[in-house]
Structure 1
Amino acid sequence: MPVAQTVAQPLQLASTVIDELRRRRVLLPPPAVIEAIVRRARQQAEQLTHELLTSGIKPDKLTILDTLLARRSDQGTTWLAWLRNAPQSPAPRNILRLLERLDHVRTVGLDPARAAMIPSATFDRLADQAVRITPQHLGELSPLRRHATLAAATIRLEESLTDATLTMFDKLLGSMTRRAENRTRDKAVRTVREMQGHLRALTNSCRVLIDAHAKGIVSLASIGPFDWERFGSAVAQAEVLVRPETIDRTAELIERHRTVKLFAGQFLSAFAFRGAGPVQGILDALAIIADLYLTGKRRLPDKVPLRFVPTGWRPFVIRDGVVDRAAYELCALSQLRDRLRAGDIWVAGSRQFRDFDSYLIPPTTFAALREKGPLPLAIETGFDRHIEDRRERLDSAIERVTMLARQGELPQVRLDENGLMISPLKAITPPAAEAARRTAYDRLPRVKITDILLDVDAWTGFGDCFTHRRSGRAADDRNALLTVILADGINLGLTRMADSCRGASLRQLAHLHDWYISEAAYGEALGRLIDAHRAVPLAGLWGRGISSSSDGQQFHAGGRGAAISDINARNGNEPGVSFYTHVSDQYDPFGSRVIAATAGEAPYVLDGLLYHHTGLSIEEHYTDTGGASDHVFGLMPFFGYRFAPRLRDIKERRLHLLPGQEAGPLLTGMVGDPIAHGHAAAHWDELLRLATSIRTGTVTASAMLRKLSAYPRQNGLALALREIGRLERSIFMLDWLQDIDLRRRTQAGLNKGEARNALARALFFNQLGELRDRRFENQSYRASGLNLLVAAIILWNTRYLEQALTAMGTPDEVARHIAPLGWEHIALTGDYSWEREDRPAPDQLRPLRTSPSLLAA
């Protein structure tokens, strides 16, 4: 029964029963008895969970919980449905709507600490069920189960609404800032055009004065005819051009203060913002602003905190010795946004905006781990020994690069007194590879996308990974389950898929998607496909599965999804999101997640390497410049990865050496500030605690890297990690110059990722290739479904390519250049039918086609 509290899968529970019976030397009973034991254990575990979660709740609060299932007087929906369907588009009125819902949840009065009375996995599962069960179904449950489910829903809703409100505040302030930047730029361009005539008059008049001074004329009266009136007018107009209001976005942002006034008072009063000493000034300012809105006062007190005001804001905040309220409020809210991102201001009751230290392993636990044995890290945990190893590697790299440069033997690199020049890599693909690729793909069977999913499921059983969220049982209708996965992968959606697929109703598909589809299931299924693909001999020609690359792929957002998406100017002026995907050297896409279009890619590099569900053991990883940062360089060695990004501006980057190291005359021009050895040593234990927390899964790498990159420059831990990263990057840069194989591996790895993106773009063709979902959860399902579909095509192509290449007698040196990413032979559109009579047995393949080129020959 205790195991059944956290484990939902019946087969796993049955295995536990059988293992215990064997341990006690009890003869195994018939399967029906084992099933009865499992069923009874699940019932007891569920009963205990419900009793613990509702124990101590007074009858009046239970009545309040039941009212969540009642219909609102002014609307047709229930209170619970209203709470679930919170707005997501960043707007002042939507922040107020979120705050209204949060206030309603808080009136229930349940202590969030009640969730800790049961295992966290059990609470998460119950809260997840509470989101998916309809209010009508909840009303039909037994009182104990209904109250426990509603209690879990209330606690989780308070947390999620808190995070949603703070996230919307972040997005709204960001969009206001972006609009202010655009308006400031447009205003400056328009002002310059309008000012051209005045500027010409001003420059002509100034030229007369300069010429007079050159001729020795010291009296203005001796200059001759001079249009002083026009000169004065031109100077006055030029002064307009240089006003801060014209060239600084801050002035334009302050003009939008009326937008902030709509929600600022209620927003600041709704949360308890907390922080350490350095942010106390911001917290005091926020308290003063909240009091102004609460009391209805219009003027700020005579003395307000000003130390937190950045230099760029001061001319706007303090005007003629008086503090401007609008500028002061916007400055304080902007600083709040930045500090929430960094984690040095946190909010009680939030999961996303917690205290930075609360993410990590407690100091006492870390001390005990360190004392009992080696930490689960891949580096020497003693700072002096680690730095000495890096010093030796850096000295060796400097010596070798200098020697090769003097001999002119740096491969495709010139390094001399005139600077550094790196030549582009030359293609090494044999000419026969393209002809062999065309011939091999011509011989592949022509199939529908549904045929591929059926074949791959028969080979791997990946559909077994999608079990019911509550019962843990597999879906009864396998074809309907595959239909739901296909709807995610090709971006068709359930409504249109129900119209395109015979025998599947929208209600059936929606039920399967709600109760069987999850990120964990997608991850487990992807792991099965990749492990099966690695076992195909042809995959071994493409790599050993020890290196990988990662890159983001932009997808525009349309419909309701456009309102909550971000704009990244690098990808155009349309809102969208990015699917960040990791691809192994064998073309396996072993991880994919959704990130905001404006988010940096670097924080997410480690997530894919650490948290995948495959047997891959990655040693070397490649990214482009967007995925590289000194923080990523610093963390990679802690987990045993060699980081090899393709840095676009490597000639402009500096080498950072340890104190006492010399670079020599050829490299002197590339040397920057020395490594802050003492600072890194002082924070070494904190870095080990951070890395151990990430390795043990206490916190994700992306969460920590996002917060560290958002910290102010004086933060000690962020600076220490940057210094360690600079040291690793310096070693890498020297390796890059002398090792042409490293450059080729990096380029080849990134090319594989880009080729995978082309296949993904071809598959994600419905809805004009746009994301129309506004919920992040649904967007994640689209990304995971697409990645699973790509992996299925890669596995299917690989098995059939191996058969075709063998029949063609293609040598391995040519076959290794033929990627399993073609889709010309796959029908992606039309009706999606799963009932096919020509399906081969799981241990057989379809017959190859006769190549048209062979017929011609």
Structure 2
Amino acid sequence: MLAALEQVEELVPEDDGAAEAALRAALVDKYNTVRPFLKLLGESRALGAAAGGRKVLAAVRRLPELARRQVGKKPLLPKEIDASLVSAAWRRPIFANPDLPAGAVDRDAYVVCVLEGLFRALQVRDVFAAPSLRWADPRAHLLDGLAWEAISEDVLASLSLTDPVDAHLDAKLLALDAAWKQMAGRLEEAGDDALVRVINPADGHARLSVEKLGALGESASLKWLRAACQAMLPRIDLPELLLEVHSWTGFLDAYTHLADISTRMHDLPRSLAALLISEACNVGLTPVIKDGDEALTRGRLSHVDQNYVRAETHAAANAILIEAQRGVPIVKLWGGGLLASVDGLRFVVPVQTINAAPSPKYFGYKRGLTLLNAVNDQVMGIGQVVVPGTLRDSLYILDCLINIDAGPKPELVTTDQASDSDMVFGISMLGYRIAPRFADLGDQRFWRADLPDGTTPAYGLLEAIARNKINRSKIATQWADMTRVAGSLVTNQVRAYDLLRMFARNGRPTPLGQAFAEYGRIDKTLHLLSILDPIDDTYRRKLNKQLTVQESRHRLARKICHGNGGKIRQAYREGQEDQLAALGLVVNAVALWNSKYLSAAVDQLRAHDVPVKDEDAARLSPLGHAHLNVLGRYAIASSAPAEGLRRLGEIPDGADAVVEEEGV
């Protein structure tokens, strides 16, 4: 509505009575829509306000009185409202209605203006609700006083933040200075062969020209190995795969009874596998029910769903799969679990729900949600969070990382550009190195700082690029609160999403938000300088590879979640989270099964004197799915051998030719 009003202010002449009348009619319609709720809203005791939202909340408290007022008999006067809440875009609709007496206020327009102000205050939590999960006051959950003093020493030691702020910043800024000097030296060394060049346009605004990365070539041995492994993998139905993975890991045993009692239920793993199939494949219970089979009756499945399947058991089962993946020999060639990526998978939600939001880019005219998931370089989903619509991923990325299910804590986390935020970089003090992929590398802002002794360093060819200076005094002033926020986040006292929304008001950062942004600019510039190495593109390729892994994982998830056109029909947040947790778990089970059989296939090739290179095996992916059947009416039974793995397919012809061509 505000955007529409601003357009009217700019485009409609003052004497355009028709446009003014249309605008007033729209405001009346909005007022009539909200009027039945004004009494409940104004008298609600659930709303509270911080200093920045007290005026808005006071105006909201007066809304029931304004709704009862007969403005035709007693016009509303400017002295009876809070004019400081009326922005420039609202002034003409509120104060210049020609149908009202001179000097009177348009009550309907003012009410809608106050409600818009309330919504904006709720977004940054200047106004909050209690009790509430989504709209609570994050300040109330921050550690403070004796509670913070009791654990601060241990928490700060775990985050390597025990040094005084000046010593800590000196070390960070010396590292930044070294990175600038290293890049300047390598730029001179590379000369005309540099992957990055400094361009000085005629207007003197220097920028970087960055050479695009080309695709890495594939050797004949790698192409043959991929085809050979795909041919050797056994064909399998998804239910059989889940039960076989359970026979290796026992991951379905992590689904315990809600009352924490032991179960005597026969064939419980089959019932759980059926429920995972129904949720992950988005097909409901009908395709997995089998009358006459005790484990697969509708009554049994409903009982197991209500008493065994919930968020904590999904997480416990996923932790078992993540740890099992770490023990597969070939996985060590893919990574150590210290590199991760976070990206969103979008789903349309065609039912009425408050946990979905519109996004024309992804959902057209419909509403949807985003499954934001973290995937490590061992190709396992280690954590996820479900968020409405497609809000900026940067607001949720830390919540996804802080609450991982298992595996080592990632040290380097790559994302797409939607997660680029100076404040998110600033909360890198939690121990994560955030590494977004930028589409416009050459146009990014780079930051520098004076050295601890007060001198200003010189960076040669990069001097014109390093033109923005970090304000360390803003960081030092807020350091005590910054460390307290970091401690509250790592101890799960508060959500990062709520804090990041609170760190800005009306598009401008608060002093604490500005301090985190200044701190984040150090790590952001270090990341940019690593990406823009003029000689070595290894770092950039490593990040791109990990994001490609995540995209492949999303394709596998789309294949599995095929029912109902891939749309999520759960109406409540808990149901959506349970269904998408089941999807993430099943994708991990497929990745583990593929990894184990790929490792076995490589071992069999080597046993038959086919020299498989480690660098080729490192580029195999456990996310292939040509051999996996997810369709049909599911038979929830295992056909795996009692011991060991299924029999692999025959080694394809052509190995000798590849060996001879490669000269192995």
Q: Do both share a fold (TM > 0.5)?
A: yes
The C-alpha deviation readout for 1:717-751, integer Å capped at 9, x for no partner, is 11211121122212222222125221111101101
**Alpha carbons of structure 1 residues 778 and 338: separation in structure 2 relative to 1, 3 Å:** same
Aligned residue number for residue 741 of structure 1: 538
Q: 1:413 aligns with which of 188, 193, 196?
A: 196
Q: Write the distance in 2 (CA, Å) between the matches of 1:592 and 1:315.
A: 47
Residue 522 of structure 1, CA deviation: 0.7
Residue from 320, 324, 327 that aligns with 1:532: 324
Distance in 1 between the 2:251 and 2:628 partners?
21
Distance 2:237 2:423 in 1: 45
Alignment partner for residue 611 of structure 1, among 376, 395, 403? 403
Q: Which amino acid aligns with 1:257?
A: Y
What amino acid maps onto 1:631 in structure 2?
M
Residue aligned with 1:420, SS: strand
Task: Find the partner of 1:333 among 105, 115, 125.
Answer: 115
Distance 1:371 1:622, change over 3 A: closer
Aligned to 1:270: 44
Q: CA deviation at 1:764?
A: 0.5
Give the alignment of 1:240-279 within 5 angstroms.
240=16, 255-279=29-53
Distance 1:308-1:727 versus aligned 2 partners, 3 A rule: farther
Change (3 A) 1:238 1:702: closer
1:289 paired to 2:66: no
The structure having more radius of gyration, on CA atoms, is: 1
Verify: 1:470 aligned to 2:265, yes or no.
no
Is contact 2:275–2:285 with CA below 8 Å preserved after alignment? yes
The residue aligned with 1:799 is: 596
Given that 1:601 and 1:626 are in contact with CA atoms closer than 8 Å, whether structure 2 keeps it comes out as: yes
Alignment match, 1:630: 422
Partner of 1:5: none
1:553 maps onto 2:335 in alignment:
no
Q: Which amino acid aligns with 2:416?
A: D
Q: How does 1:512-591 map to 2 (within 5 A)?
A: 512-558=304-350, 560-561=351-352, 565-573=356-364, 574-591=366-383
Q: Which residue of 1 aligns with 2:132?
A: 350
Flag the 1:488–1:706 CA change in 2: closer, same or farther, 3 A: farther
Conserved 8 A contact 1:501-1:831: no
**Conservation of the 8 A alpha-carbon contact between 1:448 and 1:827:** yes
Do the aligned partners of 1:568 and 1:598 also contact (CA within 8 Å) in 2? yes
* Cα 1:511/1:372, change in 2 over 3 Å: closer
Asked if residue 400 in structure 1 is aligned to residue 174 in structure 2, the reply is no
Aligned partner of 1:498 in structure 2 is: 289
Q: CA deviation at 1:547?
A: 0.4
* Corresponding residue for residue 832 of structure 1: 634
Please, which of 53, 60, 76 is the counterpart of residue 300 of structure 1?
76
Q: Would you say the 8 A contact 1:375–1:692 is kept in 2? A: no
Listed one character per residue, the Cα deviations across residues 610-648 of structure 1 (whole Å, up to 9, x for unaligned) are 211212231111001012211110011x22222211122
The match for 1:717 is 512
Look up the SS of the partner of 2:89 in the other structure: coil
1:34-78, Cα deviation, whole Å (9 max, x unpaired): xxxxxxxxxxxxxxxxxxxxxxxxxxxxxxxxxxxxxxxxxxxxx
Q: Deviations over 1:98-132 (max 9, x none)?
A: xxxxxxxxxxxxxxxxxxxxxxxxxxxxxxxxxxx
2:276 alignment partner in structure 1:
485
Sort the Cα spacing of 1:685 and 1:241 in 2 relative to 1 into closer, same or farther, 3 A. farther
SS of match in other structure, 1:488: helix
- Name 2:621's counterpart in structure 1: 819
1:685 paired residue among 469, 472, 480: 480
Conserved? CA contact 2:42–2:62, under 8 Å: no
- Which structure 1 residue ranges, 5 or more long, are not aligned? 1-176, 193-235
Q: Report the alpha carbon displacement of residue 840 of structure 1 after superposing the two structures with TM.
A: 1.1
Q: Which residue type is aligned with residue 595 of structure 2?
A: T
Query: Structure 1 residues 709 and 450 mapped into 2: Cα distance closer, same or farther (>3 Å)?
Result: farther
**1:253 offset after TM fit, Å?**
6.0
Paired letter, 1:839: A
Q: Pick 1 or 2: higher relative contact order, CA cutoff 8 A, min separation 6.
A: 2
Give the drift of 1:358: 0.8
> 1:241 & 1:386 partners in 2: Cα distance?
63
Contact 1:620 1:641 in 2 (8 A): yes
Select 1:431's aligned residue among 219, 235, 241.
Answer: 219
Could you tell me which residue of structure 1 aligns to residue 660 of structure 2?
A: none
Q: CA deviation at 1:565?
A: 2.5
Change (3 A) 1:633 1:438: same
CA distance in 2, matches of 1:675, 1:243: 48
| CA–CA distance in structure 2, aligned partners of residues 501 and 240 of structure 1 | 75
CA-based RMSD: 3.2
> Do 1:453 and 1:792's aligned partners in 2 also have CA atoms closer than 8 Å?
yes
- Given the two structures, how large is their TM-score scaled by the length of structure 2? 0.86
Looking at structure 1, the residues matched to 184 and 106 of structure 2 have their Cα atoms a distance apart, in angstroms, of 59
Give 3-state SS (helix, strand or coil) of 1:538's partner: helix
In structure 1, C-alpha distance between the alignment counterparts of 2:443 and 2:502, rounded to whole Å: 27
- Contact 2:357-2:389 at 8 Å conserved across structures: yes
Residues 108-119 of structure 1 aligned to structure 2 (within 5 Å): none
1:783-839: CA deviation from partner (whole Å, max 9, x where unpaired): 111111111111111111111122223221111111011111112112211334x42
Contact 1:276 1:344 in 2 (8 A): yes
User: Does the CA-based 8 Å contact 2:177-2:448 persist in structure 1?
Assistant: no
Structure number with higher helix proportion: 1
TM-score (norm 1): 0.68
Q: Give the AA of the match of 1:736.
A: I
Any conservation in 2 of the 1:655–1:670 contact (CA below 8 Å)?
yes
Identical positions, percent:
27
8 Å CA contact 2:240–2:636 kept in 1: the answer is yes
Provide the residue aligned with 2:469 in structure 1: 674
2:316 aligned partner, one-letter code: E
Residue 315 in structure 1 maps to residue 92 in structure 2: yes
Per-residue Cα deviation, 1:698-732 (whole angstroms, up to 9, x for no partner): 22333322433567625221121112112221222
SS in 2 for 1:526: helix
Amino acid at match of 1:571: Y
**Residue 532 of structure 2 aligns to a residue in which SS?**
helix
Q: Do the aligned partners of residues 492 and 849 (structure 1) sit closer, same or farther apart at CA in structure 2, a change above 3 Å counting?
A: same
2: CA distance, partners of 1:791 / 1:710:
40
